[in-house]
Each structure stands twice: as structure tokens, then as C-alpha cells.
Amino acid sequence: MTPILPGATLGMLGSGQLGRMFAIAARRLGYRVEVFSPDRDTPAGQVADVEWVHPYDDFKAVDQFARGVDVVTLEFENIDVACVERIEQQAPVRPGALTLRTAQHRSREKTALQKMGLSTAPFRLIRSAQELKVGLAEFGEGILKTAAFGYDGKGQQRLHGNEDAGQVWSDFATDEAVLEGFVDFRCEFSVIGVRGANGDFRAYAPILNTHHNHILDVSVSPAAEIPTAVGERAIEMTRTVMTQLDTIGVLCVEFFLTQDQEPIINEIAPRPHNSGHLTIDAHVSCQFEQQVRAICGLPLGSVAQRQPAAMANLLGDVWPEGGLPNWVAALAQPRVKLHLYGKQEARVGRKMGHLTALGDSAAAAVALATSAREMLQAGGGTT
């Protein structure tokens, strides 16, 4: 493939924080960036050369956008495949429709992973109260998840097995869901892989993740909790996923580490991932630069880590009523880096930014990231 060189124009579907950090990396490399989404003054639009504001099914606008860019990528997998296939007739879309179609639907995704010989949580496709009843009897405890369009624990319900399946199913109000057996995991971690157009593959070392209210809270690397052999297997599993789906770009595999030290896949996200934000400050090439390199057919960058790091998410919850977090107190820590996404309204549970702390050890980095986040709430901020 002839590389798409700096100076060319990269298209991004979606305009949130992942698009923003992609656009920053792309512009640093000398590319132009155009983002497309239904929203205005978005995190990505604020740093792009052009912000297209149209619904994804406005095919006239989609065609015009596609004709003006050299390659298109995306920041979230829940884009209608019809839009992606439309664009593919005019410009390459990386990752392509096969990867997206697989990642968009939990049952399709898990079935595909199992066909590749990779372990997932036990699951059943649920289309009725009766199927839910059978599934609960089989798993005892489980998590019911909408089959499509779920993220950050949205569209999920923990079930203990003694619920009234009829009531749960009618309250869930969907045609199709997946019931997963509850996994009693030791910990959760992710592997972020990068695959170029020529099949080159690299992966960052496993990143340990902790969640709060189903939303990622803190990520840390290196992850001493993940035995080396498990990490190597998880990286090979990530390679298998990307090779089988012929993914060009970045793909994150989220894992559970079971009590008997087996890595099993929770889900895949065919794009940079929240857990990989620490690569911006801690690694030679960050996940967003890798996304640019991969989709442009350039050689991939190094995934080597320069020093231990931890990332703490900043949700809207950190904002005091009518005021601002105490940015000065957190920034007074010289090894803390602040990333804000340009979102105007701080709502509870909304991802507004993150802090990355660098440390001499992973534990020191976690302690610094979390204490810096606490300092944000120590008052002193004004509007």
C-alpha cells in the first residue's frame, strides 16, 4: 500500500475525546483532520481543521465528507455499518466493516471470538423471558447486557438468579440481549494492539484496570498483577483477533483474569481505549499516534514504556457545584499531566478528562494519580 503521507487529510467518524486525542496526534504529524458527527463544538471538532455537523444517515453530507479525505477512521464502533459501507466506496475506512460489524453486537462478537478458539465469559443470546429463565437456571448468577449499543456499563443489569425472569425481561425493554455468566475475576486488564496495513502487529504490555460504577476509574502500567506468561498469551490473543478480523488500526481487548490465572475476553473495542490514555505521557508512541500510523500505512511506532504510569479518569463528579476543580493544586505536582476534553457541561458520570501520573514504580504512580485527583476536590476553584 502506498503510504498516506503527512499533508494528507484524515477523516474521523465521531467527535468525542478519542477523536480529539487522535486529531492532536495527527496534526502533530502534519496531517489535516476533518471530523464528522451530529454535534457542534465537540471535543474533536475544537481541534480539527473541519467539523462536519450532520447525522450519520445524511448520505449527501457523508458522500461529500468522504470525497474530501484520504482515509477514514472512527472513534466508536456503534456507527451504522450502512454509513461505513457508503464511505468505503469513496475512501478506505480503517478498521473496516468486518471489524465493526463483529464488535457492534455482543453475541456476534463472542461467537466470533469462540470460533477463533479464544475464551470468553459463558453467554447466551436472549430473545424472550423464557430464554432468560433458562439462562439464569444455567448460570445461577449473571449479567444481562443489551446486545448492541452498550458502553460503560450502560444497558447492563446484574442478576443473582432468583429474579422473576418475566419482570426483568419486560423492564429491560429490548428485543435482543446477552446473558453472561458472572465471572469471579481476580482483576481486569486490557491489551491494546496496533496492526498496520501490511499485517505488522505490535501491542502495549497489559494495563491493569479498576472500575467504579462500571466506568473505568484507574489504569496502571506496568501491571505486576498479571503474570508474564498470562500477559504474553493475552497479547497473542489480541494478535489473533486483529489478524482474523483483518483490523487495520488500533484495537483494545478487555480481559478478566480468572481465579485460576486464565485470561478470558470480556469485550473488544476496535479503536484506542480509555485504558491506553497513559501511553500519551508514558510511552514512546501513544495509541493515537499508532492509529494515525496504522491507517496511513506508515511504519508502526515503538510501544516501549519510558516510565511507570497511572491514569485516573476525571468524571463530571469531580466538579464542585457551580465551580471548578482545583486545577492549580493538582498541577503543582510536577509529575502529573492534565488532559481535558473541552466539554462545557460537567455531568455526573461524564468523562471530562484524565490525569496521568508518572512514578518510579507503578504503585507510586497510582498513589500520585489518585491523590492529585483528590486535590482537585480540595476547593479553591472558582468559575
Residues that bind ligand AMP (CB under 6 A): 121, 143, 145, 150, 153, 180, 182-183, 188, 211, 214, 254, 266-267
The nearest distance, CB 155 to ligand AMP, in angstroms, is: 8
Comparing CB distances to ligand AMP, the nearer of 143 and 369 is 143
The nearest distance, CB 136 to ligand AMP, in angstroms, is: 13
Comparing CB distances to ligand AMP, the nearer of 75 and 188 is 188
Comparing CB distances to ligand AMP, the nearer of 183 and 226 is 183
Give the whole-angstrom CA distance, residue 270 versus residue 247.
8
Residue of 28, 30, 22, 23 lying closest to 3 (CA atoms): 30
The nearest distance, CB 158 to ligand AMP, in angstroms, is: 8
CA distances from 203 to 119, 175, 226, 242, 279 (A): 19, 37, 15, 11, 12
The nearest distance, CB 6 to ligand AMP, in angstroms, is: 35
Q: Label residue 375 left, alpha or beta by phi (over 0 means left) and psi (-120 to 50 means alpha).
A: alpha
Give the whole-angstrom CA distance, residue 207 versus residue 225.
10
The nearest distance, CB 143 to ligand AMP, in angstroms, is: 5
Comparing CB distances to ligand AMP, the nearer of 267 and 289 is 267
Angle between helical axes of 165-172 and 129-139 (0-180°, round to 10): 120
Comparing CB distances to ligand AMP, the nearer of 123 and 288 is 123
Residue of 202, 245, 229 lying closest to 116 (CA atoms): 245
> b/e map of 256-273 (b: 16 or more CB within 10 Å)?
bbbeeeebbbbbbbbbbb
How many beta carbons lie within 10 A of that of residue 294, not counting itself?
29
Give burial (CB, 10 Å; 0-12/13-18/19+) of 187.
Answer: middle
Give the whole-angstrom CA distance, residue 175 versus residue 272.
30
Comparing CB distances to ligand AMP, the nearer of 217 and 317 is 217
The nearest distance, CB 301 to ligand AMP, in angstroms, is: 27
First to last CA, the chain: 51
Comparing CB distances to ligand AMP, the nearer of 137 and 284 is 137
The nearest distance, CB 153 to ligand AMP, in angstroms, is: 5
